[in-house]
């Protein structure tokens, strides 16, 4: 067992058994793929593939299928590698009904991108660009279009850096914030309790993760008085250094300019500027500009086809007692997936939709159903997925269409755990086997040891053999 080849064979057997369970879960159902690429510690481009599908229990599953080393990062190269992995695992391209990538041009290209090449092979593998990434691009563009907003987000990390750049300033910040909390508790402005008002610090915003900006803003808001006091300390320190600089200049005969002297202003004359109220300035020059830029970027990032597709799918949302349910839009959704519904099923769907709505609104099991995923699970539990088969098919097509790539990003985080600088010689096949077992550890733990031992014994002739009771076809 200490032989490296034996360990690799065991890892391969474990990975094959895990993949076998995933393929049994998928069965002959439709699925979507989530594909992304990243560079590992040995400077090799790795492509990860995740399957997204609805299992027999109505549960939405995202299962890691494989990671593959690619040498050609063009759209054609990634397409060939993706199809090779799907073909190796016996998955038909005709069942591919969704695809999700990041915003790279070789992935999302309208004419020669990966999504277009796959659509040529599978017309109903609809591609909807990662909504989280699109919204991030909208926020970035809007933040840059208005100088006031741009300055606001530029000053935010500077404040965090200045306040927390030294241990002395950080200690002063925490001490001042603690004094403010005690004062507010004594005045009855906030309540005390277990786990409340724990020691915290300013969070640094990330340049590519705009969710971190919200966390930073909330921290600055709650610790504002302490932040101002620490910045005042920084100003006093700067004045002390300025005084030392002036003394140095006077001792060495260097002219010191008077900062209070008037100088000629550059650009437009102050007299010719139109005077407006502050309300007009913030309302017209800041707020309206940001709103117009947001609407423009939304229309640019979210095209008409994707918007219609998502709009039709949102009609299946059961929240508020199916308040968004719309028969015509759901019929339109069935028309978009024309190969999944026959002409007779279209006609039958027009009668099934009103019956489905009336039945579920009267059913206690579906009262308070929050989302489409819960709706699918409840339909399987109550056997209504057989009564309303066409509606359930629409729900399945809706759920398997992914709207974010966070699952693939987590795969690459796992890759950094397995393949490190100290273990950078791991082969591609071994890396794939280890990652399948690591990322799908719940499935891996459920597989009986006997099943893995039988596959290991059948892999090749070995010196040692298992007992006779293991000589059974798995």
pLDDT tens string 18-29: 999 999 999 999
Cα–Cα distance for residue pair 404/467, rounded to 1 Å: 48
Give residue 464's pLDDT band: very low, low, confident or very high (50, 70, 90): low
Cα–Cα distance for residue pair 372/30, rounded to 1 Å: 17
Question: How do residues 111-131 score in pLDDT, each as one tens digit?
Answer: 567 777 888 888 878 776 665
Residue 144: count of CB within 10 angstroms of its CB: 12
Sign of the C-alpha dihedral computed for residues 97, 102, 107 and 108 taken in this order = positive
DSSP state of 264: P
Beta strands in 128-284 (DSSP E): none
Q: Let me know: does 90 contact 129? Beta carbons within 8 Å.
A: no
DSSP string, 447-470: S-HHHHHHHHHHHS--SS---GGG
Averaged pLDDT for residues 341-369 = 89
Tokens describing residue 13:
């057997």
Looking at residue 37, its pLDDT comes to 85
Note the Cα 369 to chain centre separation in Å: 24
Question: How do residues 55-93 score in pLDDT, each as one tens digit?
Answer: 999 999 999 999 999 988 888 888 899 999 999 999 988
Looking at residue 266, its pLDDT comes to 45
Residue 264 has pLDDT above 70, yes or no: no
Q: Let me know: does 154 contact 198? Beta carbons within 8 Å.
A: no
Sheet of 96-100, strand order = 60-69, 45-54, 31-39, 96-100
Q: Which of 34, 30, 31 is closest to 130 using CA atoms?
A: 34
Q: Let me know: does 18 contact 440? Beta carbons within 8 Å.
A: yes
Determine the length of the chain. Answer: 474
Q: Let me know: does 455 contact 474? Beta carbons within 8 Å.
A: yes
Helix residue spans in 27-74 (DSSP H): none
Helix (H, G, I), strand (E, B) or coil at 223: coil
Residue 352 has pLDDT above 90, yes or no: yes
Sketch the domain layout of the chain as residue ranges: 4-128+403-470, 130-190+201-251+279-302, 305-400
Question: How do residues 169-184 score in pLDDT, each as one tens digit?
Answer: 888 888 888 888 888 8
Least confident of 102-106, 199-203, 352-356: 102-106
Tokens describing residue 422:
């100290």
DSSP state of 129: -
Averaged pLDDT for residues 192-199 = 68
Strands 45-54 and 31-39, sheet pairing? antiparallel
The pTM score is 0.71
Question: How do residues 420-446 score in pLDDT, each as one tens digit?
Answer: 888 888 889 999 999 999 999 999 999
Residue 225 has pLDDT above 50, yes or no: yes
Question: How do residues 236-263 score in pLDDT, each as one tens digit?
Answer: 877 777 777 778 888 878 877 776 665 5
CATH superfamily of 4-128+403-470: ATPase, nucleotide binding domain (3.30.420.40)
Phi, psi of 127 (to 5 degrees): -115, 125
Under 8 Å CB-to-CB from 304, ≥6 apart: which residues? none
């Amino acid at each position: 067992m200490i032989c490296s080849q034996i360990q690799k064979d065991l890892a391969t057997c474990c990975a094959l058994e895990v993949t076998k369970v995933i393929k049994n879960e998928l069965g002959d159902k439709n699925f979507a793929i989530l594909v992304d690429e990243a560079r590992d510690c040995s400077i090799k481009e790795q492509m990860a593939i995740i399957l997204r599908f609805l299992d027999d229990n109505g549960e939405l599953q995202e299962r890691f299928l494989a990671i593959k080393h690619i040498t050609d990062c063009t759209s054609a190269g990634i397409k060939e590698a993706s199809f090779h992995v799907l073909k190796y695992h016996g998955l038909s391209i005709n069942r591919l009904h969704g695809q999700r990538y990041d915003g790279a041009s070789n992935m999302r290209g309208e004419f020669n991108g990966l999504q277009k090449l796959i659509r040529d092979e599978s017309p109903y593998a609809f591609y909807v660009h990662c909504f989280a990434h699109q919204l991030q691009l909208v926020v970035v563009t809007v933040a840059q279009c208005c100088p006031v907003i741009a300055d606001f987000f530029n000053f935010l990390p500077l404040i965090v850096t200045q306040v927390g750049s030294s241990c002395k300033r950080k200690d002063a910040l925490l001490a001042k914030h603690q004094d403010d909390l005690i004062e507010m508790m004594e005045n009855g402005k906030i309540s005390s309790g277990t786990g409340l008002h724990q020691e915290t610090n300013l969070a640094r915003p990330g340049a590519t993760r705009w969710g971190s900006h919200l966390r930073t803003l909330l921290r600055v808001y709650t610790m504002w008085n302490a932040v101002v006091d620490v910045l005042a300390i920084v100003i006093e320190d700067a004045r002390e250094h300025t005084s030392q600089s002036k003394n140095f200049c006077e001792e060495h005969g260097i002219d010191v300019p008077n900062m209070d002297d008037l100088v000629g202003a550059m650009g437009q004359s102050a007299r010719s500027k139109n005077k407006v109220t502050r309300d007009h300035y913030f309302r017209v020059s800041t707020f309206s500009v940001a709103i117009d830029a947001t609407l423009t970027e939304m229309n640019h990032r979210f095209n008409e086809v994707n918007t219609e597709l998502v709009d039709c799918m949102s009609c299946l949302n059961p929240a508020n007692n199916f308040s968004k349910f719309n028969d015509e839009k759901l019929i339109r959704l069935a028309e978009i997936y024309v190969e999944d519904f026959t002409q007779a099923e279209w006609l039958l769907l027009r009668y099934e939709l009103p019956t489905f709505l009336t039945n579920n609104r009267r059913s206690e099991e579906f009262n308070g159903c929050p989302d489409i995923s819960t709706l699918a699970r409840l339909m399987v539990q109550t056997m209504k997925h057989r009564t309303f088969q066409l509606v359930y098919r629409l729900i399945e097509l809706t759920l398997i269409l992914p709207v974010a790539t966070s699952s693939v990003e987590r795969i690459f985080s796992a890759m950094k755990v397995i393949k490190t600088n100290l273990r950078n010689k791991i082969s591609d096949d071994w890396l794939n086997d280890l990652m399948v077992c690591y990322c799908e550890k719940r499935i891996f733990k459920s597989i009986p040891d006997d099943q893995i031992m039988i596959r290991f014994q059948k892999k090749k002739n070995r010196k040692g053999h298992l007992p006779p009771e293991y000589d059974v076809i798995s």
